[in-house]
Amino acid sequence: MTTSSSSTIADIARLAGVGTATVDRVLNGRPGVNYETMQKVMQAVSALGEPPVLRGRPRQSSNFRFAYVLPIGESQFFDQVERQIALTAGDFRHKHTTEVTYRFNADDPAEFAASLAQVADCDGIALLAPDLPAVKLAINEKVRSGVHVVTLFSDVAGSMREAYVGADNRAAGRTAGLLLARMCAPPRDTLLLFSQATRLSAEIERRIGFAQVIEERFAHLQVQRSPDLPPDDEGAYQVLKHFLRNEMDPSRLAGIYSVGSGTAGVANALGELGLEYTPGLVAHDFTELHQSLLISGELSYVLHQDIHYCVLTAARVLRALCENVRGALNVVQPRVEILTAENLH
């Protein structure tokens, strides 16, 4: 059997009955493939008649190079993840692994997907990206080319990504709902839910979990959605200030759930209401800003996951996938920690 043009890794994988990553390992002399499987791949190559088009990163050693891809944005959490990647670089080198970090514009899905498609010279990608069709297509193309992809902190379900590393965000949203619901007392029966229009599945899952637990266990409470807030603190402050003064009765407000960034702006808007009590405020990720807001009493709870663990686990999973290690996809999700001003030390 011959082809009129060069065959691809996907063609060989289909004929051999194996995955594209296995084909990539065989063609590039990587470890982790048994003799019988290797023979199947080579027979498929021979049957197709022409060498494949290799779009992944060919290498002949046990050293691996992984790319971390994060959004650009007004988020201390994204910056914190990037710093953690840099801090753990020594751990990577010790394991014969090198890393590179990219920051792409997630506000434009087509631009983000195009930038992701241009990431080259790597064996695996750990990705924090919006859950959008263009991004899914870019992920699928990377996996088909022999590059391993795992999602980090926020999943892109329905894509060909091989693992998700991060907390259960729907469970985190349910936890936020329980915390705020228990702070309610008549006549304060309204909870406010807000986020940015980022299309991160992590934030979508948190909103779903929050709404679910209120409906299931606290049906007497009302949940209101604010308009999508800008990601920066000043923009969030302005939008929420207008909403609180013009779109609802502040005296009925029991608490606010912030699923993304902009928490300082939310705290400022709450503080200017001049209420006789302090509504509860729950946010995500233990940043320097959130630490100061917890200590000042402007923030009630922070829901946090171990960033160091997730960054290292993503690299471990990618390396295990490259080496075809059995059980590579058995990822233990980090626990969602509840932080307060009292348990910071």
The span from the CA of 18 to the CA of 207, in Å, is 39
Cα separation, 200 vs 173, in Å, equals 14
Number of domains in the chain: 3
Residues 126-154 pLDDT 10s? 999 999 999 999 999 999 988 999 999 99
Q: Does some domain include residue 343? A: no
**Cβ-count burial of 4 within 10 angstroms (0-12 exposed, 13-18 middle, 19+ buried)?**
exposed
The predicted structure's pLDDT at residue 91: 74
Are both 119 and 220 inside the same structural domain?
Answer: no
CA pair distance 126, 317, nearest whole angstrom: 10
**Strand-pair category, 190-194 with 253-258:** parallel
CATH of the domain at 122: 3.40.50.2300
Domain enclosing residue 106, as ranges:
64-166+307-334
The three-class DSSP label of residue 64 is strand
Q: What is the mean pLDDT of the chain?
A: 87
- DSSP character at residue 188: B
Counting every residue, how long is the chain?
345
- The answer to whether residue 73 sits within a structural domain is yes
Range in 46-55, 113-122, 166-175, 256-265 with the lowest mean pLDDT: 46-55
Q: How far apart are CA 21 and CA 337, in angstroms?
A: 36
pLDDT at position 60, please? 47
Q: What is the pTM of this model?
A: 0.81
Same domain, 219 and 275: yes
Separation of alpha carbons 331 and 288, rounded Å = 28
pLDDT tens track for 300-338: 999 999 999 999 999 999 999 998 887 888 899 999 999
